[in-house]
Amino acid sequence: MAGTFGSVNTAASALRYHQAVMEVASGNIANVTTDGYARRRVVGVSVGAPAQPAMWSRYDGHGDGVRVGSVDRLVDPLLDSRARREHGAQASLDTRAAALARVEASLGEPAGEGISKAIAAVRSSWHDLANNPDSPALRAQVLTRSQGLVDAVAAQRRTVDSEESDQRMHLLSGVQEANTLAADLASTNEAITAARLSGNDASSLLDQRDTMALRLAELTGGTAVENGHGGLDVTVGGVALVTGGTAGALSVAAGINADGTADGLPLALAVTPPGGTATAVSGLAGEIGGSAVLISTTLPALRAGFQDVAQQLADAVNTVHQAGYDASGTPGQAFFAVDPNAPGGPLVLLVRDPAEVAASGIGGGANRDGSNATALAAALAAPERGYQQLVTTLGTDVASIRRLAATQQNLTEQVDGSRDQLSGVNIDEETVTMMQAQRAYEAAARVMTTLDSVLDTLINRTGLVR
């Protein structure tokens, strides 16, 4: 529109536009610490000639102003997808590393109160008994320290069992949280679609959508793809968990009871897609995937390792003990047994009477012979080496998973840094934007004041004769 009144509209459009810029910048600053918030930017569009020409008239306007074309979220879908993938891998490694670190700390090796120290104490008691085989006190000391070794092995098994129980509860909690997030994401997808159809701003809903999708990736390692309506469709293990406005469910098909106890079956997870039937999934990442690896592979292997050490101890000691003679000259009986189901197992002390300790290598009640006690002390060397190998293997595994987690952390931080540079709020940058908008607003207001003066002259003073 040409003319003075058209210039008023131009100035008014500038006022409205720069006011919007200041409001958006103010909102960015207000949400500088809000998790998942992506900063907004106002995109201005100049107002020009009509898009459709008129039949009998010609547009003769110039500089008809500015309008808000859109308020964009500064995000990169590629970076968001990469962030979900890296966070899923990071969560899986962190879960495994934290669990193995707890188990490693409970070993008390090499200088703590662990199995190695208990074996050394038993060996020392056998040597003491070899030097004074007819001492009832030293015979009782052998049994006391042997029971200490049994308790040390049992303590390690309880540690593994407790960690496995914690991981089962953690997995059940993760599954429940994942299903809640899936339902919420489906509802958010519907709200985004409705907002776009009605022409309302869906930026806040998109922030919520991305936050929930990232947390789902941290739990399951699931992948999210934007559909044609602005929502995110999520698949877990190759099976759809969220499709548009409907959500499926992740479940534990076998291996864990509802109360967190083991049901004796191998762990199995399943995803029921929206409107479909449950489909078994494997190879999940995220916290649930990390817990699944611990429950199904790592911790059972470690428990089996401790049982193997107990078996080596029982076999080595029993072979030598049964070749000797106790205080009455009777051949020695089995000293240890291995029972994985025993409350204090898997290693069980069978000899309870000090007189039944077969310290002598000579029958007939030769109480002053301690050659078999010396042999029993030497017999502990082989199972001790087996235990040291188990500890070394665990230490290597812990160091390896820590290195992997540290390497993955570098990748995750790199992606997060790139996202923050694009989507994060910078106070200095927003302040500069507000100052620019303020100055432009003042200039537009000055234009409006000038036009007001011009119109006042045209309307109230033109034609007056003084």
Q: Which helix (H) or strand (E) holds 160?
A: helix 136-198
CA distances from 272 to 195, 224, 283 (A): 29, 17, 16
- Is-contact 359 365, C-beta < 8 A? no
Strand partners of residue 243? 246
- From first to last of its 466 residues, the chain has per-residue pLDDT tens of 455 566 788 888 999 999 999 999 999 999 999 999 999 999 998 887 666 666 666 666 666 789 898 899 999 999 999 999 999 999 999 999 999 999 999 888 877 788 999 999 999 999 999 999 989 999 999 999 999 999 999 999 999 999 999 999 999 999 999 999 999 999 999 999 999 999 888 999 999 999 999 999 999 999 999 998 899 999 999 999 999 999 999 999 999 999 999 988 999 999 999 989 999 999 999 999 999 999 999 999 999 999 999 999 999 999 999 999 998 888 999 999 999 888 888 999 999 999 999 999 887 765 678 899 999 999 999 999 999 999 999 999 999 999 999 999 999 999 999 999 999 999 999 999 999 999 999 999 998 888 878 887 878 877 666 5
CA-CA distance, 346 to 119, in Å (whole number)?
Answer: 16
Q: d(Cα 362, Cα 323) in Å, to the nearest integer? A: 10
Do 72 and 51 touch, CB atoms closer than 8 A?
no
Angle at 76 between CA 75 and CA 78, to 5 degrees: 150
